[in-house]
Amino acid sequence: MVLSKGSGSLFSNPTKYHQVVDALQYVMLTRPDLAFAVNKVCQFMHQPTDDHWMVVKQILHYLRSTSSHGLFIRRDSPFLLEAYYDSDCARCLDDRHSTCGFSMFLGNNLISSTSRKQRTVSQSSTEFEYKALADTAAELTWIQSLFRKLGISLRSIPTLWRDNLVDTYLSANPVFHARTKHVEINFQFVQEKVARHDLQVQFISTHDQLADILTKALSSQRFDCLRSKLQVVSRP
Question: Per-residue pLDDT tens for 108-145?
Answer: 999 999 988 776 655 555 666 777 788 888 888 899 89
| pLDDT at 25 > cutoff 60 | yes
Query: CA 27 to CA 70: how far, in whole Å?
Result: 10
* 180 — pLDDT class (breaks 50, 70, 90): low
Give mean pLDDT, residues 187-205. Answer: 82
What is the mean predicted confidence (pLDDT) over 140-156?
A: 88
The pLDDT of residue 193 is: 83
pLDDT of residue 232: 94
Cα(136)–Cα(113) distance, integer angstroms: 10
Q: For the chain, what is the mean pLDDT?
A: 84
**Region 53-64: what's the mean pLDDT?**
96
- Residues in Cβ contact with 200 at an 8 Å cutoff, skipping those fewer than 6 apart: 157, 158, 159, 160, 194
What pTM, to 2 d.p., does this model score? 0.82
> Higher model confidence: residue 177 or residue 94?
94
Q: Does position 236 have pLDDT exceeding 90, yes or no?
A: no
**What's the CA gap between 60 and 34, in Å, rounded?**
10
More confident residue, 1 or 192: 192
State residue 203's pLDDT score.
87
- Let me know: does 114 contact 25? Beta carbons within 8 Å: no
Chain length of the chain: 236
Q: Residue 102: what are its φ and ψ, rounded to 5°?
A: -145, 155
**Strand pairing report for 81-87 and 99-106:** antiparallel
The residue that leads in pLDDT, 38 or 188, is 38
In terms of pLDDT, which residue wins out, 39 or 134?
39
Band of residue 51 on the pLDDT scale cut at 50, 70, 90: very high
Select from 124, 82, 86 the least CA-distant residue to 102. 86
Q: Is 115 exposed, middle or buried (0-12, 13-18, 19+ CB in 10 A)?
A: buried
Give the chain as a 3 state SS string: CCCCCCCCCECCCHHHHHHHHHHHHHHCCCCHHHHHHHHHHHCCCCCCEHHHHHHHHHHHHHHHHCCCEEECCCCCCCCCEEEEEEECCCCCCCCCCCEEEEEEEECCEEEEEEEEECCCCCCCHHHHHHHHHHHHHHHHHHHHHHHHHCCCCCCCCCEEEECCHHHHHHHHCCCCHHHHCCCCHHHHHHHHHHHCCCCEEEECCHHHCHHHHHCCCCCHHHHHHHHHHCCEEECC
* Whether pLDDT at 18 is above 90: yes
Q: What is the pLDDT of residues 69-112, one digit of tens each?
A: 999 988 888 888 999 988 776 566 666 677 888 999 999 999 99
Report yes or no: 52 and 84 within 8 Å, Cβ to Cβ: no
